[in-house]
Amino acid sequence: MSAVLQPRVAADRRPNDPYASRTLTEATLVPRVDPVVHRPADRAGPLTSDQVSHFDENGYLVLENLFNAAEIDVLQAELTRLEQSQARLDPETLILEPDDRELRSVFRVHAQSGVMKRLASDSRLLDVARFLLADDVYVHQSRMNYKPGFFGKEFYWHSDFETWHVEDGMPRMRALSMSIALTENTEHNGPLMLIPGSHQTYVTCVGETPADHYKQSLRRQEYGVPDPASLTTLVDRGGIVAPKGPAGTVIVFECNMMHGSNSNITPHPRSNAFIVYNAISNALLEPFGGQRPRPEFIATRAHIEPLIEHRGRFA
C-alpha cells in the first residue's frame, strides 16, 4: 500500500470528505466506510440469503432467466432501432469510439426510449435495487453500450463511484449498476471484468480533473483511473472474473466495484443496456472535486423522483 500523504485540499473541496480523490501526489487505498448491503438483516426480499452474502462479500451478482425470449427480442430490436435512428436522438448523448468510426454509447437512454424507460422500472430489476439499497431509487445514469465487432475499444479499469463522487457529487456508496446483456457475452468479445472484493477498498486517483473532462472521458478515460500498483494489490487479493452468458443475463455490481473490459476484436458485438440506480437519500450534491457539475445526461440531479415499478412481462 502506498504511504498516505497529507492531502492538498483546494479551497472549494471538503476536507472531511472520507472519499477525497485527485488531491494527492500518490494513490492511496482507503477502507470503505459505508455498508454494502443496506437492508436490515431480517428483511425478506427478492434475493436469497446466499445471493445477498455473495453480493456483500464479492460486490457483484449474476441474475439469469429474468426475461423471456419475446422480451429479449424487444430489447434487441430497440438496440438496433436506436443505432439506426441517431439523427432523432439528442446529439450530446451520442458517444463515438475514440477513432470516431463507430457508435460507442447512447446516454440517458431511458429518457429517449419508451422500451428502455420500461426496462429501468421493471420490478425484476427495481425490486433488487431497492432491496439492496434499502431505499426508493431513481436512475442516476443510463446508457446503451454497443462495443461493435472489430472496432469496440476497451473500458479501462475504474471505480464508478470515484468519478460519480468527484465529478458529480454523489455523497456516499449507496448506488449500484445493472448491466443487461443484449447480445451473448463471451470470453472473447470484451465482456465486463470485475475484481471481486475490490468494492471494499476506495482507490484514490492522482491528477487534477480538467475542465469539461466528460467530453474526453466518455470515449477514453485518463483521469479518475487507478494506478498499476493499486490494481495489482486488488487483483492479488481477489482475482478477476468475467461473467459470461446469453442475451438477457443481468450483472448487478456495487458502485465502488473495480471493473473494466477489453477491446472487442471479434466479428460479434457485445452490446449491453446499463442502468445505474441511486438511493433517493443519496441524491447528488455539488461535485466533491470543486468543479461545475457534469451535464444532466450523464448524472441526474434535477427532478429526482422515486421510480414506480412495472410488474409483469413487457412482451
C-alpha to C-alpha distance for 233 and 246, rounded to whole angstroms: 32
Q: Are the CB atoms for 23 and 10 separated by under 8 Å?
A: yes
Domain count, the chain: 1
Tell me the per-residue pLDDT of 280-302, one tens digit each, with 9 for 90 and over.
999 999 999 888 899 999 999 99
Residue 309 within any structural domain of the chain: no
Where residue 10 falls among pLDDT bands split at 50, 70, 90? very low
**Is this structure's pTM higher than 0.85?**
yes
Residue 180 within any structural domain of the chain: yes
CATH number, domain at 209?
2.60.120.620
Question: Highest-confidence range of 3-12, 72-81, 94-103, by mean pLDDT?
Answer: 72-81
Domain that includes residue 269, residue range: 29-34+46-282
Tell me the per-residue pLDDT of 136-190, one tens digit each, with 9 for 90 and over.
999 999 999 988 778 777 778 999 999 999 999 999 999 999 999 999 998 998 8
Residue 89 within any structural domain of the chain: yes
- Looking at per-residue pLDDT, the higher value among 23 and 259 belongs to 259
3-state secondary structure of 150: coil
Where residue 102 falls among pLDDT bands split at 50, 70, 90? confident
Residue 8 within any structural domain of the chain: no
**Of 246, 269, 242, 243, nearest to 184 (Cα)?**
246
- Return all residues near 206 (Cβ < 8 A) that are at least 6 apart: 22, 24, 25, 26, 27, 227
Tell me the per-residue pLDDT of 43-61, one tens digit each, with 9 for 90 and over.
778 999 999 999 999 999 9
Residue 290 within any structural domain of the chain: no
Output the CA torsion sign for 285, 288, 290, 293.
negative
Residue 7 within any structural domain of the chain: no
Residue 1 within any structural domain of the chain: no
Residue 313 within any structural domain of the chain: no
What are the Cα distances from residue 256, in Å, to 31, 239, 264, 296?
Answer: 11, 16, 25, 21
Tell me the per-residue pLDDT of 62-84, one tens digit each, with 9 for 90 and over.
999 999 999 999 999 999 999 99
